[in-house]
Amino acid sequence: MFRDNALKAKIARGEPTLGVWLQMSEPSIAEIASLVGYDCLILDNEHGFASLDTTVHMMRAAQAGNATCMVRCPGSDGDYMKRVLDAGAEALMIPMVESAEEARAIVDACRYPPQGRRGYSAPTVRASGYGAAPDYAKRANENLLICLQLESHTAVAEAEAIAAVDGVDLVFIGVADLSGSLGLLEQPGEAKVTAQINAAEAAIRKAGKPMGTIPRPGHSLTDLVAEGYSFVAGLADAYLIRAGMQADVEAFRAGVGSGSK
């Protein structure tokens, strides 16, 4: 079912938006996450293990609520992006973008001519409702949200040029891999990492594009919104399930222990 991109519209209006990472490839989790009110579901096909079939089932389930479905692709392969877009992805997140040239190639692969070179099969694909939205091809370029991830010190050096590329709607600073590129994996609070994040933020703002990221020490989700981020994504489905189950077990064990003789 083709629908207006609610996430893109909210960001354009200056509203803070919240995403959740879905890596477990379970449609029911996507359905629940959409119903509880997340603005965006990040269907993580970089670190998750969903097939394209499963991704479609997750997108269908998500339409029980209002969340926008953003597919994080494994990389910047144009053929993969085309298939995911035809399948109905409303937004794409592309990891490890290192240059403006790569950014332009990504945008080009995602847009129909004359703005790009996306292959045309609009009357038959799920994205158009299998032809039920006859104006899909005219609206698809404008409706799609393209989010590029900066995840290395090399990318930070090119951040302004990457963000300035026409068709890049959102620039996401991936602080975990950025830390790793500096030899500081799992240390996103270190001063060298902070300096790189600050440089990326300044470059993205100079290009006039919205920013996204994840929390890090001293910067909660709400802190990040106050700092000017339009899109934040905190927890992943696997973590939320494990934490909930662990809390349940611990509460039971503590209760049994306190009541035993």
Q: Is 153 a catalytic residue?
A: no
Give CA–CA dist 39/124, Å, rounded.
28
Tokens of 201: 């933020």
CB-based burial of residue 134 (10 Å sphere; 0-12 exposed, 13-18 middle, 19+ buried)? Answer: exposed
Give CA–CA dist 15/5, Å, rounded.
14
Sign of CA dihedral 30, 124, 105, 167: negative
Task: Identify the three-state secondary structure at position 42.
Answer: strand
Choose the catalytic residue: 47, 57, 153, 219: 47
Task: Identify the three-state secondary structure at position 59.
Answer: helix
Interior CA angle at 42 toward 54 and 29, to 5°? 55
* Catalytically annotated residues: 47
